[in-house]
Structure 1
Amino acid sequence: MADPTLTPRSPLLSAKERLADATRASHGRVRLAELPFLTQIGLRLDPKGPAAGAVGVALGVPLPLEPDTVTRARDLTVLWLGPDEWLVVGEPGARRELEDRIRAAAGDEPVSVTDVSAQRTTLLVTGPHARDLLAHGCSLDLHPRGFGPGRCAQTTLGRTQVVLVARDRPGAGFWILVRSSFAGYLTDWLLDAAAEYL
């Protein structure tokens, strides 16, 4: 867990201008940006136990029970990662409040709540060629019929393990949640793959 007394530093701070330059050069065909410091809480519990429903009520959004799906509320996104595993993604700085809400709702039920916010950063890829760009290095079928809004998957992109999320409406693009230590490499890969749109 990161030291809360230190000022957070984005793992892609030095790439911010390169991402913005590529977005401008593509004339909107692809848009690339980092969404730093999103709160990310790993959650494990019995999906058939009473805690699952109680946690969903406390968060204001039910835990998705269908594989590779996403549920959303106003300021929260919950990703299905496994039969008893979810990732709760919220606004920057919401870690403590989300952890407290989840633990209070679970009560005495067995639950694992882990702050993994410092583990990953998030890249946003949008634009009319976002799917084409990602298809250069992802083995998933990214066609909207197979991977449309509200879908997520743990996969590889450019040989990097990521969690890929199709945002909640057509045209909203994708979140790529990538380990901070691989974020620079993946950014370089995305910029290289985007060259044909610049």
Structure 2
Amino acid sequence: MAESTESGPVVLRTSPLAHLEERMRAAAVTGACGVTLTEWPFVTMVNLRVDRNTEAAERIGKTLGAPLPQQCGHTAASGPHTVVWLGPDEWLVLSQAAEETAVTAELREALGADPGSVVDVSANRTTLELSGPAARQVLEKGCPLDLHPRSFGPGRAVSTTVGPVAVLLWQVDDEPTYRLFPRSSFADYLARWLVDAMSEYRGPSIP
């Protein structure tokens, strides 16, 4: 969608799940078995590739305010940034920084001429937040991971599936709160799947 101004057209971004906002709000359940589903649109996401044993990786860690995670499932957080381990030489930087393009620019400057890559992939995914006492039970209906606190807890993030959809799954806190990062083209299906899975805790399915 675009609007015209004296300086030219202005592009207005629409999130992949804007059309389901009311449906997700209506699916919320309160109480001891409560669970809510919301979208966090337009989170800055930067894919980072670099040899973790180099000065470039050290510079990037200093730029982010935290060293790059070194093991599968680990994350590191500092200020508006969270870094998620994707592979031995690959990470996803999630940022709530006010200046979206600044994050990518700063990481490219830190990488310098060293081998590696810094790519803004913000448009590739959206963010769903599932939160509340029953959030884990909802995910367990379609996620093959062992999500029990003994195996998966706050600060853990891994690639997995929920229903038939591939996602990056991050547990944010003990409530528990989870953030799911599906590809934008699969976000509608995943949101509807989660709404349906939540319906058990509020009675009849939402039409």
Aligned to 1:182: 186
Aligned to 2:26: 21
Aligned to 1:90: 95
Cα gap change, 1:92 to 1:81, in 2 (>3 Å) = same
Q: Contact 1:53 / 1:62 at 8 angstroms: preserved in 2?
A: yes
Question: Percent sequence identity over matched residues?
Answer: 45
Aligned to 2:56: 51
The separation in 2 between residues aligned to 1:148 and 1:39, in whole angstroms, is 24
Q: Number of aligned pairs?
A: 191
Structure 2 matches for 1:1-150, cutoff 5 A?
6-23=11-28, 26-28=29-31, 29-91=34-96, 94-150=99-155
The separation in 1 between residues aligned to 2:45 and 2:57, in whole angstroms, is 18
Aligned to 1:196: 200
Shift in Å, 1:93: 5.5
Is 1:171 paired with 2:170? no
The separation in 2 between residues aligned to 1:187 and 1:103, in whole angstroms, is 34
Taking structure 2 as the reference length, the TM-score comes to 0.89
Amino acid at match of 2:84: L
The separation in 2 between residues aligned to 1:80 and 1:44, in whole angstroms, is 11
Q: What 5-or-longer segments of structure 1 have no aligned partner?
A: none
Q: Give SS of 1:110's match.
A: coil
Shift in Å, 1:6: 2.3
Taking structure 1 as the reference length, the TM-score comes to 0.93
Larger mean CA deviation between 43-52 and 107-116 belongs to: 107-116
Q: Contact 2:80 / 2:97 at 8 angstroms: preserved in 1?
A: no
Any idea what the Cα deviations from partners look like across 1:158-192, whole Å, max 9, x if unmatched?
A: 1101000011x311510000111000000110011
The separation in 2 between residues aligned to 1:155 and 1:178, in whole angstroms, is 10
Q: What 5-or-longer segments of structure 2 have no aligned partner?
A: 1-9, 203-207
Structure whose CA Rg is larger: 2
The separation in 2 between residues aligned to 1:152 and 1:195, in whole angstroms, is 26
Q: Contact 1:39 / 1:93 at 8 angstroms: preserved in 2?
A: no
Say what the alpha-carbon RMSD is for the aligned residues.
1.2
The separation in 2 between residues aligned to 1:58 and 1:172, in whole angstroms, is 30
Shift in Å, 1:92: 6.4
